[in-house]
Structure 1
Amino acid sequence: MTTGVVFRPQLPPEELKAAVDAAEAAGVDELWLWEDCFLEGGLTTAALALAWSSRITVGIGLLPVPFRNPALAAMELATLARTFPGRVTVALGHGVQDWMRQVGAAVDSPMTLLREHTTAVRALLAGEDVSVSGRYVSLDAVKLDWPPATPPRLLVGARGPRTIALAGEVADGVLLDSVTDPDVVRRARELVGPGAHVAAYTPIEPGLGAVAVQDWIAELERAGADTVILQGTTEHPDHTPLIAHLAGDVG
C-alpha cells in the first residue's frame, strides 16, 4: 500500500519545486501531476519533479490519448523511465471530451482510441516491434531504440465500468478519479481482477484531521486500493496540508 498527493495544475508551475521538496522531505511515497487543459504539461512537469527529487515516485495522471501519437508518448515515457528507473507511473485516459473537441482532437469512439493507443504504448515500452492498422492508431514496424529495461507502470484512468474493465485488459491497472465511496474501489477491484493495480484519487476537504485522513486511507485500502492519492478540492487546491497528513502517516 502506497500513498501520494496531487500537485494540482490550478497552481502555477513555478510552485512545483516547493511541492516536490516538501513531499520528498516528508517521506511521501508519490507525487501526482495532472495534464488538465490548458494548464501544465504532464510530461514536462514530471521531468522536472523527477529531476528535483531523489526517491519519490512521480505519477502522471493522466495523459489524454487524443493529444499524442502513441509512438511519441512511448518515446517520452521511455526517456523518463530510463533516466529515473522505478520512479515513474503513468495513466492514459480519454481526456475530457469538451476539451478534446475544443482543440479539434475529439474522435467518434473514445473507447476504441483508448484501447488502441494504450495497447500500442504498452507494447512499445516493452521493446516490441509494433505494426498495427487500427481505426485510429497506425504504426508500421515502429520499435523504440531506447526502451526502458523495466517499463513504467501503465494505468488507464477510468470512471465507468466499461473503461475500468478495459484498464484490467490492456494496462497494469486503473486510476480512479475523485473517489468518495469505498464501494467504487470494491467494484473496480472486481472488474480489473486481483493482480491489477488499483490507484484512487480522493478529494480531501480542508480541516479534516490527520487521524480522519489516515482512517479514510485505511478504509480505501480495505476496499481494494493499492495506492491512495490525496487531492485538494477545486476551492482549496493547496497540497501543503495533505503532505502534512501523509508525513504523520509515514513518520
Structure 2
Amino acid sequence: MRFSVRVNNDLSVAELSALTVAAEAAGFDQVWVSNDLLLRSAPVLAATLAARTSRISLGIGVMNPYSVHPSELAMMAATLQESSGGRFLLGIGAGAEEFLAWAGIARTAPLATTRAAVVTLRALLGHTDVDRSLLPAWAREHVAALKFPLGRPVPVYVGAMGPRMLTMAGQHADGALPLLYPPETYAAARASVLSGAAPAGRDVDLPACFWVSLSDDPALARAALAEKLAYYGASFAEPLLEQAGLRPADFTEAARLAHSGQAAAAHVDERMLSLGIAGDAGDVIARCRGLHDMGASHLSFGPPLGPDPVTAIGLLGERVLPALRALPQSADVPAAGTAPSRMAVPTEGGRR
C-alpha cells in the first residue's frame, strides 16, 4: 500500500515544515498541500518543503485554471520538479465556486475548462500520450513546449468529486484526488475514474482521499474534525452531500462562525462528523480496512489530521500504517468496486 498526507495551506511555514519532515520520517510517500485562496501560497510552500526533505513526493492539491493561466502553471510545476529533484506532483481542479467568488473570479464551464487545462499541462510537462486535438488554440498554433529542459514529466492529478469530472480524470490525467465524504464513497469514485480510463487502457492513480482526526483522546479528535468541516462543509457539492443525508445549507451557521474566526464545532452534528474519520488509532484502522476491502491501495489522510497535526502524523506512522501494511494485498483483477486504486487496465496484446 501507499500512503499520503494532505494538508491545508492555513498552516504556517514552520508548522508545515515540521509536519512534512515528520511525514517523511513516518514512511509516508507523498505530502499534498492545498492552495485555497487568500491563505499561504502553495507553490512557495512546496519549494520550501523541497529544500527541507529528500525522499517524499510533494504535491499541490489543487491549483485552478481560472486564477493562473495554464502556461504559468506549467512553468511553476516544471520549476518545482527541478528544484525537488523530480519529486513534484501537480493537482489541478475547477475549485470551489464560493471561494473563487471571494476574488471576483467566475467559474465558467468547469468541466471543459479543467479538461483543457489538464491536457495542456500534460503536453507542456513532458507527456507524450496527449490528444492534441483537445489543446486550446493558443497551444495548437504554437509549439506547446517549455523553453528549458524537464528532467522527467510532472504527473498531473485532477481534484474532483463529481462523476463527470472523475471520468475526465480517468481519460486524461495521471491521477485523481477525489475528496470522499464519507470515505466509503470510494467505490463510486473508482467506478467513475475507471469508466474513463478503461477504454484507453490508461494507468491512473486513485488515492482514497478522506479527512481524518486522530488522537488518543477521541473527544479532542472529534472537535478538531468538526472545526474543519465547519469551514469547508458549505462548499461541498450538493449531490454528494445528499448521499449522506445532508445539504450545504446544513453548514451555514457553522461556516459563518468558522469564516469569522469563531469556534464552530458545536454546530457540527453526528451526521456531519460521519463525513470523515475521527477517533483513536483503532477507529482509524477500522475505517481504513473497509477502504482496503474495496480495493484501495493508496490511502490519503487529509486535514485536520488531529488536534496536533505533528503528533497525529507520529501516531499514524507508529500505529496505523504498520497495521495497514500488514493487510493482504488487493487482488489485481477487479470486480465492481474492488479494484486496486492504481488502475492499470490491459489493452490488446497485454500492454498497459
State the TM bucket, normalised to the shorter chain: 0.7 to 0.9
Residue 21 (structure 1) shift: 2.2
Identity %: 29
SS of 2:17's partner is helix
CA offsets per residue over residues 135-186 of structure 1, 9 Å max, x none?
A: xx7333331123433212211011110111111111012101144232x211
- Please list, as runs of the form range in 1=range in 2, the aligned pairs for 1:124-163 lying within 5 A after superposition: 124-126=124-126, 134=136, 138-139=138-139, 140-163=142-165
- Asked whether the equivalents of residues 174 and 204 of structure 2 are also in contact (C-alpha less than 8 Å), the reply is yes
Residue 4 (structure 1) shift: 1.9
Q: 1:107 to 1:211 in 2, by over 3 A?
A: closer
Q: For the residues of structure 2 that align with 1:72 and 1:176, how far apart are their CA atoms?
A: 24
Residue 244 (1) aligns with residue 314 (2) = yes
SS of 2:143's partner is strand
One-letter amino acid of the structure 2 residue matched with residue 186 of structure 1? A
Residue 83 (structure 1) shift: 3.0
**Comparing 69-78 with 26-35, which one deviates more in the overlay?**
26-35
Q: For the residues of structure 1 that align with 2:59 and 2:297, how far apart are their CA atoms?
A: 14
Q: 1:84 to 1:170 in 2, by over 3 A?
A: same
- Asked whether the equivalents of residues 91 and 159 of structure 2 are also in contact (C-alpha less than 8 Å), the reply is yes
SS of 1:72's partner is helix
> Which residue of 2 is the match for residue 227 of structure 1?
298
Tell me which of 207, 212, 215 is aligned to 1:199. 207
> Which residue of 1 is the match for residue 282 of structure 2?
211
**Greater helix proportion:** 2
Q: For the residues of structure 1 that align with 2:282 and 2:17, how far apart are their CA atoms?
A: 28
Q: For the residues of structure 1 that align with 2:20 and 2:167, how far apart are their CA atoms?
A: 33
**Greater strand proportion:** 1
> Which residue of 2 is the match for residue 19 of structure 1?
19
- Please list, as runs of the form range in 1=range in 2, the aligned pairs for 1:1-251 lying within 5 A after superposition: 1-126=1-126, 134=136, 138-139=138-139, 140-182=142-184, 184-193=185-194, 195-206=203-214, 207=218, 208-233=279-304, 238-248=308-318, 249-250=320-321
Q: For the residues of structure 2 that align with 1:232 and 1:133, how far apart are their CA atoms?
A: 35
**Comparing 12-21 with 93-102, which one deviates more in the overlay?**
12-21
**Comparing 115-124 with 96-105, which one deviates more in the overlay?**
96-105
SS of 1:66's partner is coil
Residue 75 (structure 1) shift: 1.2
CA offsets per residue over residues 12-56 of structure 1, 9 Å max, x none?
A: 233222112222222222222011121111211111111110111
One-letter amino acid of the structure 2 residue matched with residue 198 of structure 1? L
Greater length-normalized contact order (CA 8 Å, ≥ 6 residues apart): 1
Q: For the residues of structure 1 that align with 2:39 and 2:6, how far apart are their CA atoms?
A: 15
SS of 1:89's partner is strand
- Asked whether the equivalents of residues 132 and 138 of structure 1 are also in contact (C-alpha less than 8 Å), the reply is no
**RMSD (Å), alpha carbons:** 2.6
- Asked whether the equivalents of residues 179 and 200 of structure 1 are also in contact (C-alpha less than 8 Å), the reply is no
One-letter amino acid of the structure 2 residue matched with residue 204 of structure 1? V
Point out the structure with max Rg over C-alpha. 2
Residue 133 (structure 1) shift: 6.9
Is there any run of 5+ residues in structure 1 with no aligned partner, and where? Answer: none
Q: For the residues of structure 2 that align with 1:214 and 1:90, how far apart are their CA atoms?
A: 29
Residue 237 (structure 1) shift: 6.1
Q: 1:190 to 1:38 in 2, by over 3 A?
A: same
SS of 2:39's partner is coil
TM-score, L = length of structure 2:
0.63
Q: For the residues of structure 2 that align with 1:219 and 1:50, how far apart are their CA atoms?
A: 33
Residue 57 (structure 1) shift: 1.4
TM-score, L = length of structure 1:
0.86
**Comparing 12-21 with 168-177, which one deviates more in the overlay?**
12-21
SS of 2:176's partner is strand
Runs of 4 or more, structure 1, over 4 Å off, are 127-133
Q: For the residues of structure 2 that align with 1:242 and 1:29, how far apart are their CA atoms?
A: 16
